[in-house]
Structure 1
Amino acid sequence: MNNIIPRTNHFIWIRYLAAFSIVFSHSKQFDTAPQSYIDVVGTLTWFVPGVPILFFISGFLISLSSSNSQSLTAFFVKRILRVYPPLWASFSVSVVLIFSLGMVELHGDDWLKFLMWSIGQVTVVFFYHPDFLSHVGTGVLNGSLWVIPVILQFYLGLPLLRKLDNYWIGKGKSHYIYLLLVVCALFNMVFHYFNNFTPNVYTKIIHFLTLLPWLFFFLLGYIFSRDYGRLKRLTTYASPWLVLHVALFCTLGALGFKWGRNDINPILFTVLAFSIVSIAFKVPSNLSWFNRIEKFIAKNDISFGLFVYQMVMLNTIMYLGIFDDNWLARLLTFLLATITVASLSLILLEKPLRNKRDWFIKVLSRNKEPQQKNKAV
């Protein structure tokens, strides 16, 4: 069976769609957002759930990256250079803003809290939200970063998943990966039911600190990547899947089921996943200008930066009271500030570091060689 995945795809547009879904969803947290805007954006962002879509795309594309990487070292270097430079830049921007604008005045134990918060923001402890920032905007300067540890857990677990899957394939039981997907889907539904109706400290820990509720989306992306040759016959046309997605979306909503955003029903999301893949591998356009624009945007992808910087910009605008009497101007300022900072981060930091990717891989691989030789001796 031909399982060659075309190199040309349109995932970049879907990444931006998901990123802007998250940005607009969070824009509802502005204290001056009109109810009409909240209602419209709330419905649209439930229809296009940004976080699950990004998890699915990550599962698909990172699986390919793992397959194409020459070693685990190369794989992890690529992932670190993708995730951490914008996070560190975002932290630097946050520190400059909170001190230059007088957002905080630290006294006594506050400096220890600031140190703990700083260490967390540049590593993986994004759930620590000190009280000295509680008066700034929403009270959490960059609350969106809870997804980073979830993504990192998938990166770390992917090599183990591939080994397990290859073991099953070797035993002639390749379908076991689908059974695992069903288990993850059931866990997803049961967990979100309890988290929505009887939340407690344990559900919050599982939700914000573990991969478990989100593994379904990553695993679904992994399966689409693994079995693309088998599934591509079902993704020739996007329209039927989009129509089915809309129908299910409306039906589940009318029946009162929890059907959107981060806790989207796995059945509904599976239909959406077929739509995503259908669009991503649609035949390239014959319009040369469109293809040039697509290549330029793909080379200068700020979708992750939009996600990383948006809450910092939102909270800063709220703190300063920028255009608090003009909603449209405030929204446009928020979007422009987020896009500008994400673009500068890409140009000044992220791309230069990624251009040194091969150098990092070579240095780290060279450091491992003496260890391997010593073990052989």
Structure 2
Amino acid sequence: MIKKENNLEIIRLLLAVQVMIVHVFHHIDNTYFHFLEMVPGVPAFFFLSGFLIYASYEKSSSLYSYMKNRFLRLFPALFFVTVASSILIYFFRVNNGLYDNDFIPLWTIAQFTLGQAYNPHQLRDFGVGVFNGSLWTITVEILFYIAVPIIAFLSKKVKGTLYILGVLSFLIYAFGPDYLGFQFAMGKSLYDFLSITPIVWGWMFILGIITYKKFYLIEKYIKYFWLSIVPIVAFAFAGGEGVLFENQGNRLGVIYFIFYVAFIVYLAFSIKPIPLKIDLSYSLYIWHMPIVNFLLVMNLSNVYYAMAVTLVISVFSWFYIEKPSLKLKRSGLLRSINNQGSV
């Protein structure tokens, strides 16, 4: 039985802070934190989404209930940041004598649907050149949400479905850049398009699903998972590269990734729970890059301004956008699994 009291919320918050710090310092101060890159937020989010979202689906009373819960967790805050970003872009361009703004409605629709990776050329000179580049993971997450009922159905019909899908995804992840790197459309390779879908990252989600489904087998051993810090530290000193041992950034090697998420599971379920009154992980994630871009174009490029403004807006988003939306969700397996599952 999965513990209702756990540290999943605070882990997600720390992962969002990791992403924010890395991006803010890199884009504003040109500072690169190698040690933070060894605990990347995005792969861990994908793993946790596999764990939490599959649990949410299994405990939902219907497909409608499941999709409703996913929509309420993701889209209200996403709509808020999208509208605010569109207004900011429009007035900035008009104030600078740029009136070719017909792209903004299409960009807005893309940001609120499945086109978060869409970045028109008109935005190349705005800030870092990509207004909210972190949101490519939202596309991956939404597609995973859609895929979960299909995966669950196939798992009941075909034994070993999760393992088959996981291996296929990992093979594309590992060899796609070499064998699928040919130009496909709009100047992008086929792998570029696949990399904003769970086809590439699905093995990380699936490892989370397997962890959830086999939790009853590993639960008594989780207290020993702290030992995974030993190889993690060893990788930190010795380095690692390739699809097996890479220990920095989003494209982690599979062996390093297993040790990494094992330590996350340990922190989640073997450490005394630290309750949180508010959940800022999602809002920190989706707001930090628009703030960075805004400060850059306003010549206020200060990392502490960026993080402070992001925090203030995130608090507003939680209390006035996200929390009211979450009250509309149906109760689920447990608080953390029912109320989480975003990027």
Shorter chain as normaliser: what TM range? 0.7 to 0.9
Q: Note the aligned Cα RMSD (angstroms).
A: 2.7
Report deviation, 1:358.
4.9
Cα distance between partner residues in 2 of 1:243 and 1:20? 24
Structure 2 gap segments, 5+ residues each: 332-343
Q: Which residue of 1 aligns with 2:327?
A: 355
**Partners of 1:56 and 1:221 within 8 A in 2:** yes
Q: Which of 260, 269, 292 in structure 2 is aligned with 1:281?
A: 269
Q: Which residue of 2 aligns with 1:219?
A: 206
Report deviation, 1:255.
8.9
Q: Which residue of 1 aligns with 2:224?
A: 237
- Per-residue deviation, residues 131-190 of structure 1 (Å, max 9, x unmatched): 22222111111111111111111111111111121224xxxx4x5533443333333222
Q: Which residue of 1 aligns with 2:304?
A: 332
Classify 1:101/1:213 alpha carbon distance in 2 versus 1 (closer, same or farther; 3 Å).
same
Cα distance between partner residues in 2 of 1:21 and 1:194? 32
2:81 counterpart letter in structure 1: S
Q: Which residue of 1 aligns with 2:2?
A: 5
Classify 1:23/1:127 alpha carbon distance in 2 versus 1 (closer, same or farther; 3 Å).
same
**Partners of 2:18 and 2:41 within 8 A in 1:** yes
> Which structure exhibits the higher relative contact order, with contacts defined as CA atoms closer than 8 Å and separated by 6 or more residues?
2
2:303 counterpart letter in structure 1: L
Cα distance between partner residues in 2 of 1:115 and 1:218? 32
Report deviation, 1:206.
1.5
Cα distance between partner residues in 1 of 2:182 and 2:22? 22
1:185 counterpart letter in structure 2: F
Classify 1:9/1:358 alpha carbon distance in 2 versus 1 (closer, same or farther; 3 Å).
closer
SS in structure 2 of the partner of residue 263 of structure 1: coil
Q: Which residue of 1 aligns with 2:19?
A: 22
Q: Which has the larger helix fraction? A: 1
Cα distance between partner residues in 1 of 2:267 and 2:87? 41
**Partners of 2:180 and 2:190 within 8 A in 1:** no
TM-score by length of 2: 0.86
Q: Does 1:69 align with 2:60?
A: yes
1:12 counterpart letter in structure 2: E
Report deviation, 1:197.
12
Report deviation, 1:281.
0.4
Larger gyration radius, structure 1 or structure 2: 1
Structure 1 gap segments, 5+ residues each: 286-290, 325-329, 360-377
2:305 counterpart letter in structure 1: T
How many residue pairs get aligned? The number is 326
Q: Which residue of 2 aligns with 1:321?
A: 299
Q: Which residue of 1 aligns with 2:171?
A: 186
Classify 1:65/1:92 alpha carbon distance in 2 versus 1 (closer, same or farther; 3 Å).
same
Q: Does 1:152 align with 2:124?
A: no
- Per-residue deviation, residues 242-297 of structure 1 (Å, max 9, x unmatched): 11222245444389964321110111101111111111001536xxxxx4xx242x
- Per-residue deviation, residues 311-355 of structure 1 (Å, max 9, x unmatched): 100000111111x4xxxxx11111111111111011111211222
Larger deviation, residues 241-250 vs 217-226 = 241-250
Classify 1:185/1:201 alpha carbon distance in 2 versus 1 (closer, same or farther; 3 Å).
closer
SS in structure 2 of the partner of residue 111 of structure 1: coil
Cα distance between partner residues in 2 of 1:84 and 1:72? 18
**Partners of 2:169 and 2:203 within 8 A in 1:** yes
Classify 1:181/1:192 alpha carbon distance in 2 versus 1 (closer, same or farther; 3 Å).
same
Q: Which residue of 1 aligns with 2:75?
A: 84
Identity of aligned residues (%): 27
Q: Which of 123, 128, 142 in structure 1 is aligned with 2:132?
A: 142
**Partners of 1:189 and 1:266 within 8 A in 2:** no
1:277 counterpart letter in structure 2: V
TM-score by length of 1: 0.79
Larger deviation, residues 237-246 vs 46-55 = 237-246
Q: How do residues 107-186 of structure 1 correspond to structure 2 at under 5 angstroms?
A: 107=99, 110-168=100-158, 173=159, 175=160, 177-186=162-171
Cα distance between partner residues in 2 of 1:238 and 1:258? 20
